[in-house]
Structure 1
Amino acid sequence: MGQRIGVVRAALVAGAAVLALLLLLAMCGGQGKGKDGEGAGGDGARKAGGTASAGPRGTAPAAPPRLAVPAAYDTGRGWRITGGSDQYAIAQEPALVAHVERSGAENFLVRAYDARTGRQAWAGRPWRPLSGSAHFPRLLSLQDGDDRFFVTWSYGKVSGPDALSTGDSVVALDVYDARDGAQRHVDLPWQGVPVVSATGPDVLVTDGAATATTVDPRTGRASALTPGDLAPPKGCKNCRSKTEVRGLTAKGLLVSGSTEFWVRGGWYSAEVAPRDTAPASGVPTSLTASGRVLAKWQKKERDGWERWAVHDAATGKVLATADCRRPAIEPGAHPQAVTSPSGDYLVAGNLAFDLRQPAPKGARTGHCLQEREGVKPVTLVSVTDDGTAYGTTGASAAGGTPVQLPLATATPAALPDTTLLPLAEVANIALFRTTDRQDRPQLFGHPRR
């Protein structure tokens, strides 16, 4: 419960000034332990199961100030969420936006908001991450059929009565059902630095190489896989060199070797290589939750060029391709692919693809927006269901001039330098991110006009 202190100053004028203070204490109607539920969690909140506290479910969101955004969005309507992590996660159905907030000095909690209104939908129980309180835990979204989940994770050593043994290193997962915030905690024993992803029906934890464990979001059941379980296809000469689990698809693990890749128990890259490429040259660079694999291939001819292809993760079928000049220096990490809410469009760095239907004679032609004579490169960060992509000029998303690019023409149009770009869309609400004067993250939602 908060206290409100009012100060009344009375001035007396008779040759001398006297200052009097009057303190008024008014008790506010609170929420027990505060909106974050402080004191409700601690070590006990790390147990599996349970349902989230609704908190101030009907509280109206803060009215956002007018921002400079693309003309497609209405800044006269919308909402603002202040504070929390600079990461967020979304669920298209139900239409939710979630982020992590601090709850007291050492705990955190997940709060989910209705993407259409900005009102709180639910809040999870507070918990203390294994990584400590200095940094926010990571947040992911996961889709399994018609079910949606949010997942937080941290890594460290467990101590106290809940420890499996003294000094155990574990990946601590908290899984939330997007419908009502029902929360399940899982401690996964793990040695080494984990890589955690949620592109498939289960949470995937790997060591960055060939060791992996999947965790069922409904039950918390973990299934471990060793390098011997990855079943490289027959005839694959490069599958056993630099073997790496790249992600989880609805059909199984996506695994790569030095220059070939496969879906465990499914398809093999050499059998689905794009036209005019070397069959044993494929390297996957990104996997989306909508079931798309972005891979690069070496051209049989035209030395110095690569062919980028979007594959259907279920079948390996090539949906679209684009040719780019090979960089002089291979980047340490390629841009992650993102799709429009419907999955009909995909962008990744300077690549843009229309995936609505394959062309009559094969894969559709995408766009490579590299620098060329008289034209600056464009780096794309998002794409909408009407086929409009947003990004900036330059080799990276940082700096440069904001642009919007209709995929129908692939011709960028410059936006004012102060324009904030939409990062994603949920239920026709675009999300924009900035910080306030106290350097606190702010997330804005504005609808399409």
Structure 2
Amino acid sequence: MGQRIVRLALVGGVLVLALLLLLAMCAGGADGGGDDGAPERPRKRSAGPATRLNVPREYTTGRGWEVVGAGPDYAVSHPTGRLGYLVRTPDGRYRLRTLDAETGRAGWHGEALTSADPERFPKLITVAKDDRQFFVTWSLGRTGDALTPAKGFVSLDVYDVEDGGHRHVEVPWTGVPAVTATGPGVLITDGSAAGTVVDPVDGGVSAIGASAARYPEDCPACEQLTEVRGQTAKGLLLSGSREFWVRGGWFSRRSAPPGADPRSGIPTSVVPGLVLARWQPAAGTRQAATHQIWTVHDTVSGKPVVSVRCHRPAMEPGTHPQAVLSPSARYLVAGNLAFDLTGGKAFCFEDEGGAARLTFASVTDGGSAYGATDARDADEALRGGTGPVSMSFPSWDVEALPPNTRLPDMETAGTGVFRWTDRKDRLHLIGYPRTG
């Protein structure tokens, strides 16, 4: 009898231990725990993400995925449907993790690395070259001590989107850099005519001096306030106080939209393959003193794709709205401007007095644009600016959404990506699928 009791006790102990191990494993999966002390994989449950935001009715909160505790930036490779995000490790380093934006399944992850600026997460962008996609993290660091003058450098880590293949590159840099990827390389600039391009395939670094601007002939304005604005498949895009050009390629004066003063073009925003520019109507025309022409140009040829006219603002804005492109590059929005690039149509949303009616923040391949009527910029609209709206490109109709509606940052692979910060100041990345 005593032996039987002992055997039963042993069996019961084994069962309890197994149950405890099972609960620990389940807890780790639900919290996404790992060696990072942060989400190793997104939350994906049959009942949907734990966080249920108020979102446009085109999305369902009953399915999808959720990442808790991610860094402030994320990046998406639309051709692959893969999303990259950063997490902090317990020892203060960072790690790049990926997931499938449609299913929420965890993908590859990079090794834990030290940021050149330990106080901040690196920035995260995407770049494409030779039909290959790359995630790129970058941060600004400094070397030196009390006896050695400090030297700045931009630290970049380049990851192949498909398999996570990694390359580290450091570029000496003085000042505050702007790092963009509008062409087949990573461009580092500082608001001048000089810059550096990093090749994501082989890590090659090419410095571009101000003397290599290659100014167009008979363009004194090009030599004033000269600035590298972006990279294109045909070379660097530069601008002066007026007019812009691709080094060794096309010149805006020969690519002005109909009715514009050909010497007035100013690029305001660059996205892969396209540049949004502002033009003045030709002198002596009816709207010369009251309107501006906004045109999307192809960066390979410089040719206008589509234009729209808006009232000239009473005061020149300090910054221009940044263009946002749909994944397939059919639609583009910027501030209160909306362009159907395939249909060749555009609309400026303003009231009869010429005041901007709304600010767009995101646009989908299905032709839905989201924004707010009372937001200073796209970031404010996404953070929950008052007066959220949606606009349908097929009809150009604007619909007011409930005041507490959270807008999608973007959409890829049929999934809207939303950001939300909880009371513990943790950022949640949430994927809700589109219903129709």
TM-score in terms of structure 2 length: 0.85
Q: Deviations over 1:36-63 (max 9, x none)?
A: 469xxxxxxxxxxxxxxxx967x76364
What's 1:279 paired with?
A: 262
Return the offset for 1:328.
2.0
Residue aligning to 2:236: 253
- Who is 1:384 aligned against? 364
Aligned CA distance change for structure 1 residues 184 and 36 (closer, same or farther; 3 Å):
farther
Name the SS for the 1:228 alignment partner: helix
The 10-residue stretch of structure 1 (364-373 or 420-429) with the greater mean CA deviation from structure 2: 364-373
Superposition deviation, residue 77 in structure 1: 1.3
The match for 2:299 is 313
Partner of 2:276: 294
1:39-58 aligned within 5 A: none
Q: Give the counterpart of 1:330 among 316, 332, 357.
A: 316
Alignment of 1:104-183 (within 5 A): 104-132=90-118, 134-158=119-143, 167-183=150-166
> Comparing 116-125 with 393-402, which one deviates more in the overlay?
393-402
- The secondary structure found in structure 2 opposite 1:412 is strand
Residue identity over aligned pairs, in percent, reads: 46
Partner of 1:416: 402
Looking at secondary structure, tell me which structure has more helix per residue.
2
Is 2:361–2:369's contact at 8 Å kept on the other side of the alignment?
yes
Instruction: Give 1:12's aligned residue.
Output: none
Aligned residue type for 2:419: R
Which stretch shows the higher mean deviation, 121-130 or 247-256?
121-130
Q: How does 1:84-123 map to 2 (within 5 A)?
A: 84-123=70-109
**Letter of the 2:428 counterpart:** Q
Q: Distance between the aligned counterparts of 2:341 and 2:248, measured in 1?
A: 25
Residue equivalent to 2:248: 265
Q: Partner letter of residue 378 of structure 1?
A: L
Q: CA deviation at 1:200?
A: 1.0
Amino acid at match of 2:409: L
Mapped to 1, the partners of 2:313 and 2:130 lie a distance apart of 38
What is residue 361 of structure 1 aligned with on the other side? none
Which amino acid is the alignment partner of residue 366 of structure 1? A
2:14 aligns with none
Q: Report the CA distance shift for 1:373/1:170 in structure 2 as closer, same or farther (over 3 A).
A: closer
**1:72 Cα deviation (Å)?**
1.3
TM-score by length of 1: 0.83
Residue identity in the other structure for 1:293: V
The residue aligned with 1:67 is: 53
Query: Which AA in structure 2 matches 1:157?
Result: R
4+ runs deviating over 6 angstroms: none
> Hey, what's the Cα distance between the residues in 2 that align with 1:430 and 1:395?
21
Q: CA deviation at 1:327?
A: 1.4
Per the alignment, residue 238 of structure 1 pairs with 221
Per mean C-alpha deviation after superposition, the further-off stretch among 61-70 and 214-223 is: 61-70
CA drift of 1:143 comes to 1.4
Question: In structure 1, how many angstroms separate the alpha carbons of the residues matched to 2:174 and 2:375?
Answer: 36
Question: How much has 1:373 moved relative to structure 2?
Answer: 5.4
Cα deviation for residue 443 of structure 1 reads: 1.1
Q: CA deviation at 1:232?
A: 1.5
The residue number in structure 1 matching 2:13 is none
Q: Any stretches of 5+ residues in structure 1 without a counterpart?
A: 1-24, 39-54, 358-363
1:444 corresponds to: 430
- What is the DSSP-based 3-state SS (H/G/I as helix, E as strand, rest coil) of the residue aligned with 2:211? helix
**340, 352, 356: which is aligned to 2:342?**
356
The offset of 1:269, in angstroms, is 0.2
- Cα displacement (A) at 1:86: 2.1
Shift of 1:157: 1.3
Equivalent position amino acid for 2:297 in 1? H
Distance 1:186 1:415, change over 3 A: same
User: In structure 2, the residue corresponding to 1:239 is in which secondary structure?
Assistant: helix
Instruction: Select between 148-157 and 371-380 the one with higher mean Cα deviation.
Output: 371-380
Q: Within 1, Cα distance between the matches of 2:55 and 2:179?
A: 33
Partners of 2:230 and 2:391 in 1: how far apart?
30
Counterpart residue identity of residue 199, structure 2: D
Alignment of 1:369 onto 2:349: yes
Give deviations 1:325-372, integer Å, cap 9, x for gaps: 111222221111011111000000100000014xxxxxx341111233
In structure 2, give the amino acid aligned to 1:221.
G
* 8 Å CA contact 2:70, 2:429 repeated in 1: no
Which string of whole-angstrom CA distances, capped at 9 and with x for unpartnered residues, describes residues 95-143 of structure 1? 11111111124211111111112121111111111222x2211111111
With 141-150 and 345-354 compared, the bigger mean Cα shift is at: 141-150
- Which position in structure 1 is the counterpart of 2:7? none
Residue aligned with 1:205, SS? strand
| CA distance in structure 2 between the aligned counterparts of 1:329 and 1:195, rounded to whole angstroms | 26
Deviation at residue 432 of structure 1 after TM alignment: 1.0
The whole-number CA distance in structure 2 between the counterparts of 1:408 and 1:118 is: 30
